[in-house]
Amino acid sequence: MTKEFDVAKVKAQFPALHQRVYNNQQLVYLDSAASAHKPDVVLRVMDDFQRQDYSNVHRGVHYLSQRATDAFELARQRVAEFIGAKENEVVFTKSTTEAINLVAHGMADLLEAGDEILLTELEHHANIVPWQLIAKRRGLRIKVVPIHDDGRLDMEAFDALLSPKTRLVACAYVSNVLGTVLPVQEIIERAHSVGAQVLLDASQAVTHRKIDVAALGVDFLAFTGHKLYGPTGIGVLYGRYDRLQELPPYQGGGDMIDRVSFDGSTFKEPPFKFEAGTPAITEAIGLGAAIDWFTNLGIANVAKHEQALLTYAHEALEDFGGINFYGKSSEKVSVVSFTLDDVHAGDAASILDKTGVAVRVGQHCAEPLHVRLGVSSTIRASFAAYNEQADVDALISGLKVVRDLFA
């Protein structure tokens, strides 16, 4: 696709993508926005750790525990460098969902009845439900910023809804359904102007954009490992250190305590006070390896490759005809959500699967957005570093099979 990017060389590193399915057809994986596959190096690093260096981390004085702790904390360092944070601002969680719940749980103690939280119509359920839970418990008010028909956030409405009562703005960096890139710098600056904090769900952004939390000035940012070519079971919460200090612990148990007695307990400083119990050690190390792999590819190179694929896919689908696109913002990542005239999205996706093409179908954990779009479900094709034009061609061929069956 580009001189700087050898997609065949990249794809060769992903063993799962070379299998054949259904009558010996080549698997075409277009579902990386849900979860990306893992390159050989990530699988190997995790396997090597399990085979040779595994032990519990922290507090152990023996050789293996020290090696495991060093590897675990090196992964934290890798994450910090990747997003422009300090190491003590990186909290390991099991997912983006847990990271957002951690912040919501903590902020519940800091907010008062009548305080307001701003969300957007673009949000994943993981950035809606936690806030609803604390709003009900604490008497908070949730306001929702609408979008334009092309999927852009309505910034005039944002300004109108923002007020001195706004204590938090929680929004996606990139929509998981539409691929829309939100104007997060503007959002952060405007929110801070009224004293509100900002949490960004960056799960769909970290594989497409270089993120610098210090430059953004964001208060909290969350993402997950499995969308970043890493393992499941590991996520990241970035919190500005003073913000983390303000939050109470999310869970209690081993490793997050300073001292314990039956009269009361004291807790470690961040990030450790939020990491109760034995962490996902192997998974954190795998995430560190995934970040190294992705960084070595060059984020700008990957983004250029993906944007070229996005353009090619849009043009191919338009030429195919009978496609209804959702999300037409000029600022978007390599995600295409669509429906076909006169064919239910679920039926189309099931037939595509039988042709070897894996796409996501449904509401993509964004039911309110689909209500806004006036559609019950959409087909989502998402493109990653290992996808190529031939994958788009396979999608079009699969859609021809769908059309012929419903002709």
| Consecutive H or E run containing 297 | helix 281-297
Q: Is residue 252 part of a domain?
A: yes
On whether both 235 and 279 belong to a single domain, the answer is: yes
For position 407, what pLDDT does the model report? 80
Residues 94 and 160 in one domain: yes
Q: Is 365 known to be catalytic?
A: yes
Identify whether residues 228 and 324 lie together within a single domain.
no
- Choose the final residue of a domain: 295, 329, 357: 295
Given 295, 329, 358, the domain boundary residue is 295
Based on the fold, state whether residues 278 and 384 are members of the same structural domain: no
The residues facing 180 across adjacent strands are: 332
Looking up residue 336, the CATH number of its domain turns out to be 3.90.1150.10
User: How high is the pLDDT of residue 4?
Assistant: 67
- Which residues are bridge partners to 238 per DSSP? 90, 221
36 occurs within a structural domain: no
Q: What is the CATH number of the domain that holds 175?
A: 3.40.640.10
In this structure, is residue 237 part of a structural domain? yes
> Is residue 1 within 8 Å of residue 308, measured between CB atoms?
yes
pLDDT at 293: 98
Calpha distance 118→121 (Å, rounded): 10
**What is the rounded distance in angstroms from the CA atom of residue 323 to the CA atom of residue 1?**
25
Using DSSP's 3-state secondary structure scheme, residue 15 falls into helix
**231 and 42 in contact (C-beta within 8 Å)?**
yes
What is the number of other CB atoms lying within 10 angstroms of the CB of residue 229?
28
Inside any domain, residue 354: yes
What's the rounded Cα separation, in Å, for the pair 355 and 398? 6
Name the amino acid, one letter, at 31.
Answer: D
- pLDDT given at position 2: 42
- In the set 365, 375, 396, 401, the catalytic residue is 365
Among residues 3, 70, 9, 36, the alpha carbon closest in space to that of 226 is found at: 36
- Apex 283 CA angle, 277 and 286, nearest 5: 145
- In this structure, is residue 35 part of a structural domain? no
Same domain, 311 and 277: no
Reading the chain (407 residues) residue by residue, the pLDDT tens digits are 444 689 999 999 999 999 999 999 999 999 999 999 999 999 999 999 999 999 999 988 999 999 999 999 999 999 999 999 999 999 999 999 999 999 999 999 999 999 999 999 999 999 999 999 999 999 999 999 999 999 999 999 999 999 999 999 999 999 999 999 999 999 999 999 999 999 999 999 999 999 999 999 999 999 999 999 999 999 999 999 999 999 999 999 999 999 999 999 999 999 999 999 999 999 999 999 999 999 999 999 999 999 999 999 999 999 999 999 999 999 999 999 999 999 999 999 999 999 999 999 999 999 999 999 999 999 999 999 999 999 999 999 999 999 999 98
Same domain, residue pair 329 and 240: no
Q: In this structure, are 119 and 23 located in the same domain?
A: no
**Residue 185 shares a structural domain with residue 321:** no
Residue 28 and residue 395 in contact, taking contact as beta carbons nearer than 8 Å: yes
| Same domain assignment for residues 373 and 251 | no
Does any domain span residue 1? no
The answer to whether the CB of 123 falls within 8 A of the CB of 369 is yes
Residue 19, judged by CB atoms within 10 A of its CB (0-12, 13-18, 19+), counts as exposed
Give the domain range for residue 238. Answer: 43-295
Provide the number of structural domains found in the chain: 2
What Cα–Cα distance (Å) separates residue 48 from each residue in 157, 234, 284, 355? 52, 18, 14, 36
Residue 153 lies in a domain: yes
- Of 295, 321, 337, the one marking the end of a domain is 295
| Same domain membership, residue 186 and residue 158 | yes
Residue 358 backbone phi and psi in degrees, to 5: -100, 115
Residue 311 lies in a domain: yes
- pLDDT at position 260 is 95
Q: Are residues 355 and 258 in the same domain?
A: no
pLDDT of residue 1: 40
- CA dihedral (322, 327, 333, 334) in degrees, to 10, reads -20
> Same domain, yes or no, for 137 and 283?
yes
What φ, ψ does residue 262 adopt, rounded to 5°? -75, -10
Question: Does the model's pTM come out above 0.75?
Answer: yes
Element (H or E) spanning 338, and its range? strand 335-340
